[in-house]
């Protein structure tokens, strides 16, 4: 378990995958419409923290990829050369 805490004292996620799983759970709870108002606001706030965490993790990975690729990102080319299935 991580010892890092967010500004409101909630444990920070240990990984991108854990953050995404928690975010999916929060979204499902909120979409179900069964949370009281205060719990909905708290879930929204936690979700916002998780989104920021995930975005930061993705930015870090993107920076690592740029270094590995020598800052020369290549455009994605589909394996079939962009042709549709025939």
Q: What is the DSSP string of 17-76?
A: HHHHHHHHHHHHHHHHT-S-HHHHHHHHHHHHHHHHHHHHHHHHHHHHHHHHTTT-----
The number of beta carbons lying within 10 Å of the beta carbon of residue 46 is 16
The pLDDT profile of the chain, 86 residues, written as one tens digit per residue, is 445 766 666 788 999 999 999 999 999 999 999 999 999 999 999 999 999 999 999 999 998 888 877 766 667 677 775 555 54
- Domain of residue 24 covers 16-68
Has residue 64 been placed in a domain? Answer: yes
What pLDDT does residue 7 have? 62
Has residue 8 been placed in a domain? Answer: no
The model's pTM: 0.69
How many domains does the chain fold into?
1
Has residue 21 been placed in a domain? Answer: yes
- CB-based burial of residue 29 (10 Å sphere; 0-12 exposed, 13-18 middle, 19+ buried)? middle
Has residue 35 been placed in a domain? Answer: yes
What pLDDT does residue 27 have? 95
Has residue 37 been placed in a domain? Answer: yes
What pLDDT does residue 57 have? 96
């Amino acid at each position: 378990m991580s010892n890092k805490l967010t500004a409101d004292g909630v444990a920070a996620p240990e990984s991108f995958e854990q953050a995404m799983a928690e975010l999916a759970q929060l979204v499902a709870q909120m979409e179900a419409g069964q949370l009281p108002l205060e719990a909905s606001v708290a879930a929204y706030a936690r979700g916002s923290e998780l989104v920021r965490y995930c975005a930061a993790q993705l930015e870090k990975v993107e920076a690592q990829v740029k270094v590995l690729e020598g800052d020369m990102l290549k455009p994605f080319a589909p394996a079939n050369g962009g042709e549709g299935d025939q």
